[in-house]
Amino acid sequence: EAQVTQNPRYLITVTGKKLTVTCSQNMNHEYMSWYRQDPGLGLRQIYYSMNVEVTDKGDVPEGYKVSRKEKRNFPLILESPSPNQTSLYFCASSPTWQGGSNQPQHFGDGTRLSIL
């Protein structure tokens, strides 16, 4: 089954304790992206990757890191989490990305992070 898998689904942690949210897709997609969803703001892009070893900042990259060492995996790293990073996070992938493309993105089921 084609899917985007995120782990963990839920995490409660404390300020400053490094954490990683994993994202894996089994569709051989080149493009992957991370979004955060906050009430009243919709989804905002954090980072994206056009292919292996190619990553770039989205609209809200502060406090986050990513890596793309393999095509299928795109982990999101919070080196020193803070309470304002409490949010619902989604990983997404699509075959490629072209400007104005109509390729839909496939989304994971989300990771709810609470930073105390």
Partner 1 sequence: GDSVTQMEGPVTLSEEAFLTINCTYTATGYPSLFWYVQYPGEGLQLLLKATKADDKGSNKGFEATYRKETTSFHLEKGSVQVSDSAVYFCALSGRGAQKLVFGQGTRLTINP
User: For binding to partner 1 (CB under 8 A), which residues are involved?
Assistant: 4, 31, 33, 35, 37, 40-45, 48, 50, 56, 58-59, 90, 92, 97, 99-102, 104-105, 107-110
**SS3 state at 85:** helix
Q: In the complex with partner 1, which residue's Cβ is closer, 62 or 100? A: 100
Distance of alpha carbon 109 from alpha carbon 52, whole angstroms: 23
Q: How far is the CB of 54 from partner 1 (least distance, A)?
A: 10
Cα–Cα distance list, 45 to 2, 12, 27, 37, 99 (Å):
23, 22, 21, 9, 16
**Least spacing, CB of residue 31 vs partner 1, in Å:** 8
